[in-house]
Amino acid sequence: MMQKDDAKTILWVDDEIDLLAAHIIFLKDKGYNLLEASNGDDALEIVSRGGVDLVMIDEMMPGRDGLATLEGIKDINPHLPVIMVTKSEEEHLMNEAIGKKIDDYLTKPVNLSQVLSAIKKILERQKLTENTLTREFVQDFSRINMQLSGPLQWQDWIDIHVKLSEIDLELEKFRDVGLKQSHQDLKKVASAEFGGFVIKNYRRWLQSSDGPPLSVGVVEKHVAPILRQGKQTFFIVVDCMRLDQWLMIEPILGEYFNIKKDYYYSILPTATPFSRNSIFAGEFPDTVAGIYPDLWERGANEASRNRHERQLLDRQLAKLGLSLKSEPKYVKVLDFDEGQNLAKKIQSYSTAPLVSVVYNFVDILVHGRSESEILQEVAPNEAAFRSLMRSWFEHSHMFEMLRKLAEWDCEIVITTDHGSVIGTRGALAYGKKDTSTNLRYKYGDNLNCDPKQAWLIKEPKDLRLPTWGLATTYIIALEDYYFVYPTKYSEYRRQYLNSFQHGGISLDEVILPVITLKPR
């Protein structure tokens, strides 16, 4: 068979290379270029000239043996993949070879299919993976498109969002720009359909029991059952964490925990003062406002509106009939020092039946990105932001704490209060100067907007939202819109273009993971 111009070159090193003629002919017929060496010194000379894509080395050779040759190859090119071939099945030799960073290990006698499989796994993994993922993407694309054209239930939207998020991560391995663009187009269509679905059904969900699990039920459904078993529970809320971001860090925890995933819908607006208070209170925002009216005083700082979370959780636990043996603990981690302090003193919580922790890092990063050119450079898009999130987590005090908890007899529930979305289109908002400043939702007197871009809520009480008078209205952005006032429209539209925002209605903001971790 004639070799292709882009054929991969394999160097096979064996002191009995003449006995491998059938193997070499077989590989040439499969389209590979083959180089041969009968000893380690010749092999190193060939490798030093370059152009070799893979080396196969016999371990037992006179003179410079396989392991010594391997060391020499790695000195010349640390990234050149190597397959070790040996007659020995002794474990210590296998361990030594693996420790020297071989890429695969075959035991003689090796048959042709074994050799080909090992080579393909190394040299053609990317190509084969892309071909497989392309076929799967086309199938998923067609299936989701068909789903979007028919009637959907809230459970279907969870399935769609999970699949779209998983594809997001898979496509990061791709070089096919067209495939990525098709996926983004599909996500936009799904987001538009989802917005209409929520507007149509949200009011009914609040008044019946056939809707999706909501923020108000997270503690009752996922935390309370563990507490009732008498098991120590850690309840961790990572502010503003999307499903795709969780999927980036989940594999890191798989070594330490058995992982169970569930999902819920955030209440509206998908913003911390509403959604996170509702998680801790087990109540909708209008009830929370009745318990703590000061939270909703006009002009109050947004961050201060979550200052009663500890008390709201205590109230919810009492309402659920949970009488704990000792006082539950609550910790809010707003910066590096607080995270470090918590990880260091985690042992002091060993007798607490419930420890609740709020991590604000992701939310801070989301907002900081809008104001920092450096962060915009580091994380210019969703894929880069996911990578940044993973990097943070791997080196975080949160991960340090979780590794320690993996040795305890406890269970950990991790969730988030809402997600975020990159705003790409400005939407005109009409209202007075004292209207709230948020970019994906606003509340104030007699607000107005384009119904194609946002949901105008004229009767907030029907949606269990706080009011300050008869004229209180809310507007909640759809898809990837963000609000801009008519005055200085172009200036503010440019300022917030491609910034992460939250508070609106989108799959990434609304459908969220709840993860239960059990130490292995």
What pLDDT, on a 0 to 100 scale, did the predictor assign at position 277? 96
- Residues 240 and 362 reside in one and the same domain: yes
pLDDT averaged over every residue in the chain: 91
The CATH number linked to 26 is 3.40.50.2300
How would DSSP label each residue in 105-156?
Answer: EEESSPPHHHHHHHHHHHHSHHHHHHHHHHHHHHHHHHHHHHHHTS---HHH
User: Cβ distance 223 to 343 under 8 Å?
Assistant: no
Look at residue 476 and give its three-state secondary structure: strand
Q: Among the listed ranges 1-5, 116-120, 346-350, which one has the minimum average pLDDT value?
A: 1-5
From residue 239, how far is each of 276, 345, 357, 370, 516 by CA, in Å? 8, 22, 10, 17, 17
What pLDDT, on a 0 to 100 scale, did the predictor assign at position 4? 53
- Residues 339 and 400 reside in one and the same domain: yes
Q: How confident is the model at residue 2 (pLDDT cuts 50, 70, 90)?
A: very low
Of 155, 175, 207, the domain-final residue? 207
What pLDDT, on a 0 to 100 scale, did the predictor assign at position 487? 84
Give a yes or no: residue 504 inside a domain: no
Give a yes or no: residue 502 inside a domain: no
Check whether 72 has a pLDDT greater than 60: yes
- Across 298-328, b (16+ Cβ under 10 Å) vs e yields eeeeeeebbebbbebbbbbbeeeebeeeeeb
- Residues 416 and 433 reside in one and the same domain: no
User: Cβ distance 66 to 86 under 8 Å?
Assistant: yes
Q: How confident is the model at residue 402 (pLDDT cuts 50, 70, 90)?
A: very high
- Residues 67 and 156 reside in one and the same domain: no
What pLDDT, on a 0 to 100 scale, did the predictor assign at position 101? 76
- Residues 407 and 463 reside in one and the same domain: no
Using a pLDDT cut of 70, give the percent of the chain over it: 95
Place of tokens 């636990």: 317
Q: How confident is the model at residue 299 (pLDDT cuts 50, 70, 90)?
A: low
d(Cα 287, Cα 86) in Å, to the nearest integer?
Answer: 71
- Residues 81 and 176 reside in one and the same domain: no
What pLDDT, on a 0 to 100 scale, did the predictor assign at position 1? 46
Q: Which domain holds residue 284?
A: 215-420+509-519
- Residues 362 and 492 reside in one and the same domain: no
Give a yes or no: residue 4 inside a domain: no
Sign of CA dihedral 365, 369, 370, 372: positive
Of 182, 207, 232, the domain-final residue? 207
From residue 41, how far is each of 44, 73, 254, 389 by CA, in Å? 5, 10, 43, 46
Give a yes or no: residue 119 inside a domain: yes
Q: How confident is the model at residue 218 (pLDDT cuts 50, 70, 90)?
A: very high
The strand ranges marked E within 314-353 are 329-333
- Residues 355 and 321 reside in one and the same domain: yes
Q: How confident is the model at residue 108 (pLDDT cuts 50, 70, 90)?
A: confident
Check whether 94 has a pLDDT greater than 90: no
Q: 481 forms bridges with which residues in the sheet?
A: 425
- Residues 186 and 258 reside in one and the same domain: no
Give a yes or no: residue 463 inside a domain: yes
User: Cβ distance 457 to 449 under 8 Å?
Assistant: no
Give a yes or no: residue 3 inside a domain: no
User: Cβ distance 353 to 324 under 8 Å?
Assistant: yes
Of 96, 123, 150, the domain-final residue? 123
Check whether 114 has a pLDDT greater than 80: yes
d(Cα 32, Cα 414) in Å, to the nearest integer?
Answer: 49
The structural domain count of the chain equals 4
- Residues 161 and 96 reside in one and the same domain: no
What pLDDT, on a 0 to 100 scale, did the predictor assign at position 248? 96
- Residues 454 and 408 reside in one and the same domain: no
From residue 469, how far is each of 111, 268, 277, 464, 476 by CA, in Å? 81, 20, 22, 14, 19
From residue 211, how far is each of 171, 220, 267, 433, 518 by CA, in Å? 32, 16, 12, 36, 28
What pLDDT, on a 0 to 100 scale, did the predictor assign at position 42? 95
Look at residue 352 and give its three-state secondary structure: coil
Check whether 237 has a pLDDT greater than 90: yes
Check whether 468 has a pLDDT greater than 90: no
Check whether 209 has a pLDDT greater than 60: yes
What pLDDT, on a 0 to 100 scale, did the predictor assign at position 273? 92
What pLDDT, on a 0 to 100 scale, did the predictor assign at position 93? 67
The pLDDT tens digits of the residues spanning 413-434 come to 999 999 999 999 999 999 887 7
Give a yes or no: residue 503 inside a domain: no
What pLDDT, on a 0 to 100 scale, did the predictor assign at position 315? 96
Q: How confident is the model at residue 46 (pLDDT cuts 50, 70, 90)?
A: very high
- Residues 514 and 475 reside in one and the same domain: no
CA 413 to centroid of chain Cα atoms: 16
Give a yes or no: residue 409 inside a domain: yes
Q: How confident is the model at residue 447 (pLDDT cuts 50, 70, 90)?
A: very high
Q: Of 126-135, 156-165, 466-475, which has the strongest mean pLDDT?
A: 156-165
What pLDDT, on a 0 to 100 scale, did the predictor assign at position 298? 57
Residues in the chain: 520
Region 287-307: mean pLDDT is: 76
What pLDDT, on a 0 to 100 scale, did the predictor assign at position 126? 79
